[in-house]
Amino acid sequence: MRDLHKALADIDAIKKQVARGTQFRGYGPVTIAFTGLLSLLAAVAQDMWLEDPRNQLNEYLLVWIGTAVLSAAMIGTETVTRSRRLHSELADEMIYSAIEQLIPVGVAGALLTFVLLRFAPESLWLLPGLWQILFGLGIFASCRFLPRALFVAGAWYLSSGLVCIAFAASGSAWSPWLMGIPFGIGQLMMAAILHYSLGGADGED
């Protein structure tokens, strides 16, 4: 029985090693592109409905956190179904490896938002830029098992986050376009890179 458990453990370790060295095809270009359009729609919604975001912090956070949660749910659902179709027996290991890179970014973003909201609300104008920087770092961390060209998207989010902070500091804080444009362009850029790198929308060409 001990030999059986050891053999199963060895097989599991091999599968994890193979998964870490295999290019992940679970992210669907179409869904990624749609999240970019969703970001632009959220910016339009903020522009139309929030007259003074500085004094409507709860509504502002609801718009953008809601957009992020919806986007993550859409991407996560498709990731599971695509991975099971394209990676078959390695699907669980591949999905875990992908999530493993993004969990620290998500947790850091959530905690950062909570701390600023609770203890330094006067600094919440920094959030759009900080969110973009964190997202860019998540992409950099994921590049080891995704198409290397996605490094460009990570650089985009890092740069846009820094520019966003600079613009916000000069008096443009709370503009919906400081979120809508960077995430809109960034997600569409990622979708295009995934489409051409993985061989079409299905990744099976």
Provide the domain count of the chain: 1
Residue 20: per-residue pLDDT: 55
The packing angle between helices 177-198 and 151-167, to 10°, is: 170
Residue 168 lies inside a defined structural domain of this protein: yes
Residue 89: per-residue pLDDT: 67
Residue from 63, 73, 98, 72 nearest 83 by CA: 98
Residue 7: per-residue pLDDT: 45
Residue 43 lies inside a defined structural domain of this protein: yes
Residue 15 lies inside a defined structural domain of this protein: no
Residue 20 lies inside a defined structural domain of this protein: no
- For residue 204, give both structure tokens: 């099976």
In angstroms, the CA 67 to CA 134 distance is 16
Helical residues (DSSP H) of 50-176, grouped into ranges: 57-86, 91-119, 127-142, 151-167
**Residue 45 CA: distances (Å) to CA of 4, 42, 128, 156, 169:** 58, 5, 16, 24, 23
Residue 1 lies inside a defined structural domain of this protein: no
- By the 8 A CB rule, do 29 and 187 touch? no
Residue 5 lies inside a defined structural domain of this protein: no
Residue 146: per-residue pLDDT: 87
**Residue 115 CA: distances (Å) to CA of 5, 31, 118, 152:** 45, 31, 5, 30
pLDDT along the chain (205 residues), means of 10: 48 49 81 97 96 93 97 94 79 80 93 96 95 96 88 97 93 92 98 86 53
SS3 at position 124: helix
Residue 171: per-residue pLDDT: 80
Residue 93: per-residue pLDDT: 80
Residue 35 lies inside a defined structural domain of this protein: yes
Residue 170: per-residue pLDDT: 84
Virtual torsion, Cα 176, 180, 181, 186, nearest 10 deg: 150
- Burial bucket for residue 159 (CB in 10 Å: 0-12, 13-18, 19+): middle
Range of the domain at 41: 27-198
Residue 13: per-residue pLDDT: 46
Residue 11 lies inside a defined structural domain of this protein: no
